[in-house]
Structures are given as C-alpha cells and as structure tokens.
Amino acid sequence: MTEPCYGNAEYKSVDIQSATLFLDIASSLFEPADHRGGDDILAGLPGRYRRNRVPDQRLITLVGWTRGVGVDVEERQQSWADAEATLGGLLDPDDDGDLVAMAPYLGLSAGTASITCYPLSWTPGIPQSKMTFRLWTVVLEAVGNPPDWTVAESSS
C-alpha cells in the first residue's frame, strides 16, 4: 500500500504534510507583506498625503494536526508521540529555516517557493482520541529584508 500524498510543503527540510504531521500554509504566496509607514494627516488641508511604504513583516500561519497511525491504540499513541517530537523540534524560535512550497501547492504551476522564517508563536489544541490526535496553529515570521517569497520555476 502506498502512502497517500497529502501536500507539498516542508519546513527546515522536514515534510510537514505527512500522515502523522500535517501543517497547511493558511496564506497565499501572493499576499503583500505588512508595511511600515502611514499617511500623514495635516490639519486644515484636504485629504491625506501618501508616503512610501516599506515591506516590514510577513507572518505566515500554519494550521493542521499531529496524529498517530497504526492498528492499535498503543501503536497510534507512539506514532503520535513521534509526530509531536518532530513538531517540537521545528518550533525552536532560535533556529530559523526555509519554508518550502512545491508545485502544484498554493497555485504554483511549477517549481518551488521558499521563504526563510522562524517560529514566532504556536497554539496546541487539547490532545484527543486517547492521546493520538491534536490540532495546532503555528505562526512563523519571515526574516528576509524584504520578507518575500523566492519563487524558482522548474525547467521541466
């Protein structure tokens, strides 16, 4: 039996869309980064004066789950614990890494899109199903200046 294909994403060279650890990128590759700066309002003058914007921050939200697989509860619990340990290793905020999306994920027609980021925050859900399943929300912050995705089209 072949493993089903869940998606095409990895973080820090770890597959984050597998049977036991699945994190989906909940934003688009094509959204602009948050910008620093604002419009000036001058008292007594009509309208606002537009200022230059500087791409300042890009937060990327990942949503998904860890779950155990196996034929009995003990096997599923061990598989889930392994997935939790893998995710825990990815959540070190002192260790940035590349988040990579591979076509056809997120509207990519070919190739990959990558961005270097680090874990900013995460919210674990309550363990369920006899300690074999948990929902997760992870927020990554891009470290580039500007904080943009790098898209590499494949030649095939």
pLDDT of residue 51: 62
Up-side HSE of residue 76: CA atoms within 13 Å toward CB? Answer: 16
Q: What is the mean pLDDT of residues 136-150?
A: 92
pLDDT over threshold 90, residue 18: yes
Q: How confident is the model at residue 56 (pLDDT cuts 50, 70, 90)?
A: confident
Up-side HSE of residue 105: CA atoms within 13 Å toward CB? Answer: 22
Q: What is the mean pLDDT of residues 47-59?
A: 72
Q: How confident is the model at residue 2 (pLDDT cuts 50, 70, 90)?
A: very low
pLDDT of residue 37: 63
Q: How far apart are CA 155 and CA 132, in angstroms?
A: 41
